[in-house]
Amino acid sequence: MPGEFIEEGKAALPADETGRTRVQEFWRLLGRNRMALAGLVIFIAFFLVALSGLFLTSGKKPLFDPALVRLQEKLRPPLARPNLETLAPGQVPALGVYLFGTDDLGRDVFARMLQGAWVSLTVGFVAVGISVIVGICLGGIAGYYGQSRIRADHVLFLIVLHAGIVLLLLWVRPLWAALVAGGLWGSVLGSWWRKVWKGLELPPRLNVLRKETLSVDTLIMRLVDIMLCFPSFFLILTVVALLPASIYNIMIVIGLTSWMGTTRFVRAEFLSLREQDFVTAAKALGLNDLRIIFRHMVPNAIAPVLVSATIGIASAILTEAGLSFLGFGVPPPHATWGNILSDGKRFIFDAPWLTFIPGIAILVVVLSFNLFGEGLRDILNPKLRERHW
């Protein structure tokens, strides 16, 4: 059973003399690292707030309406009581008080913060999810298949396939179908019908196709180098400004520009794991490569990925807030913490709460992710742990 192999792989690590399981040990260490524990608690609280914010502020008749404009109640300070004489019954805030005040259109800042919490949360998690998936796949391929060479025919077929896709996007009609079909046929030849393709007699001039070029590892690592050359915030800004404004574009773009670190970690881990006995055992049992990679190697390589993902969520939230602040991103009626702050900056001396409430909220959430991530790094890394305590 695959589960047992994972256990065996872990048993190779020095056993804890107190006989605690890894999970118990994890909680014990977390309890001793007070900053990381505080980070985890704030993170869970933020998660619950964002989830309840999604339900309380959406729907036809939400409990807290973030888009309700009350022009007679402009820029009321936090904890101000609504002026009941001027408000229609439907306009009175649900708590009977403006908990975080109102903005320049008289919208309830508390409701807007609740709505924005969900945006921050999803941007953080989806962007990091994308970057982790890309990172694990590319890093895994580079680490596991790194030594195998790419042959010239692979390159040729891939070029044909991608040219076909590009032409499809540009809608050059008869040509794209031919190229996509050619590329697909080549991929089929190259992967499933490998034996047939190898056995084929080729005229000597076409033997160039069998020539070996770069290794897979070189290719992926050069790709990482190329991506690292782009100034990341500038690249994100360019793409987001050119694409239509939508929260999904931001998530995808942040995710696709931040996978390089994960790729490097996973590759390094895989290079050392590949030589270990449990992988050899799994291979000897005849498991297929996908199973070995995802059931046996990835769980053992996940620790640094988790750490960098936690810190990545923090920086994705910061990036999204920065984009909203510059006026890109989620289209206006929807609130995000960045655009509440950006709208409020004109009233910074008259209504400082419009700047401070979202600013402190971003700060606390990002800080909690950073502290938890650093704590996780200490806990999951036995070498650092000994030095620390």
Partner 1 sequence: MLSFIGRSVIQKVVTLFFVSVISFLVIHLAPGEPSQVDPLNPKFTPEMVERFRKEFHLDAPLHVQYYLFYSDLFTGKTVSWKDNRSVLGKIWERFLNSLPLFIVGTLLTWTLSFPVGIRSAIFRGGIYDRSATFFSYLLISIPGFFFAYILIIFVVTRFHVPVIGMETFGLSVSSWVHVAMDRVWHLLIPSVLGATGGIAVLSRYVRSQMLEVEGQDYIRTARAKGLPPEQVHYRHALRNALLPFVTMFGLILPGLIGGSVIIESIFSWPGIGRMAYEAILARDYPVILTINFISAVLVLAGTFVSDILYLIVDPRIRL
Distance (Å, rounded) from C-alpha 381 to C-alpha 189? 45
Residue choice 63, 156, 239, 303 for contact with partner 1 (CB under 8 A): 239
Distance (Å, rounded) from C-alpha 92 to C-alpha 183? 63
Residue choice 55, 192, 193, 233 for contact with partner 1 (CB under 8 A): 233
Query: Angle at which helices 22-32 and 353-380 pack, to 10 degrees?
Result: 130
Q: Which is nearer to partner 1, 184 or 227 (CB)?
A: 227
CB of 128 to partner 1, least distance (A): 16
> How far from chain centre, in Å, is Cα 330?
18
Residue choice 55, 192, 193, 230 for contact with partner 1 (CB under 8 A): 230
Residue 363 near partner 1 by CB under 8 A: yes
CB of 321 to partner 1, least distance (A): 5
Among the residues of 145-210, which ranges form H helices?
152-170, 173-191, 194-199
Residue 371 near partner 1 by CB under 8 A: yes
Place of tokens 């580079």: 142
Q: Are 332 and 82 in contact (CB under 8 A)?
A: no
H or E segment and range at residue 151: strand 149-151
Residue choice 23, 229, 284, 290 for contact with partner 1 (CB under 8 A): 229
Q: Are 182 and 165 in contact (CB under 8 A)?
A: no
Candidates 155, 163, 197; CA nearest to 180 is 163
Residue choice 19, 90, 244, 286 for contact with partner 1 (CB under 8 A): 244
Stretch that binds partner 1, among 128-136, 152-160, 177-185, 365-373 (CB under 8 A): 365-373
Q: Which is nearer to partner 1, 242 or 284 (CB)?
A: 242
Residue 64 DSSP code: S
Give per-residue burial for 328-357: e unless 16+ CB within 10 Å, then b. Answer: bbbeeebbbbbbbbbbbeebeeebebbbbb
Residue 133 near partner 1 by CB under 8 A: no
Distance (Å, rounded) from C-alpha 327 to C-alpha 176? 38
Residue choice 269, 355, 377, 379 for contact with partner 1 (CB under 8 A): 355
Which residues inside 312-351 make contact with partner 1, applying CB under 8 A? 314, 318, 321-322, 325-326, 341-342, 345, 348-349
Stretch that binds partner 1, among 65-73, 117-125, 182-190, 240-248 (CB under 8 A): 240-248
Q: Which is nearer to partner 1, 71 or 229 (CB)?
A: 229
Amino acid at 248: Y
Which residues inside 165-184 make contact with partner 1, applying CB under 8 A? 169
Residue 243 near partner 1 by CB under 8 A: yes
Residue choice 20, 222, 291, 346 for contact with partner 1 (CB under 8 A): 222
Helix (H, G, I), strand (E, B) or coil at 150: strand
Q: Are 262 and 131 in contact (CB under 8 A)?
A: yes
Q: Which is nearer to partner 1, 92 or 326 (CB)?
A: 326
Residue choice 152, 352, 380, 381 for contact with partner 1 (CB under 8 A): 352
Q: Which is nearer to partner 1, 24 or 238 (CB)?
A: 238
CB of 342 to partner 1, least distance (A): 8
Q: Which is nearer to partner 1, 174 or 231 (CB)?
A: 231
Residue 231 near partner 1 by CB under 8 A: yes
Distance (Å, rounded) from C-alpha 246 to C-alpha 240? 9
> Would you mind telling me the total number of residues written for the chain in this entry?
389
Distance (Å, rounded) from C-alpha 355 to C-alpha 353? 5
Which residues inside 21-40 make contact with partner 1, applying CB under 8 A? 35
Helix (H, G, I), strand (E, B) or coil at 215: strand
* Token reading at 37: 């524990």
Amino acid at 283: K
Residues within the interface to partner 1 (CB under 8 A): 35, 169, 222, 225-226, 228-231, 233-235, 237-239, 241-244, 314, 318, 321-322, 325-326, 341-342, 345, 348-349, 352, 355, 358-360, 362-363, 366-367, 369-371, 374, 387
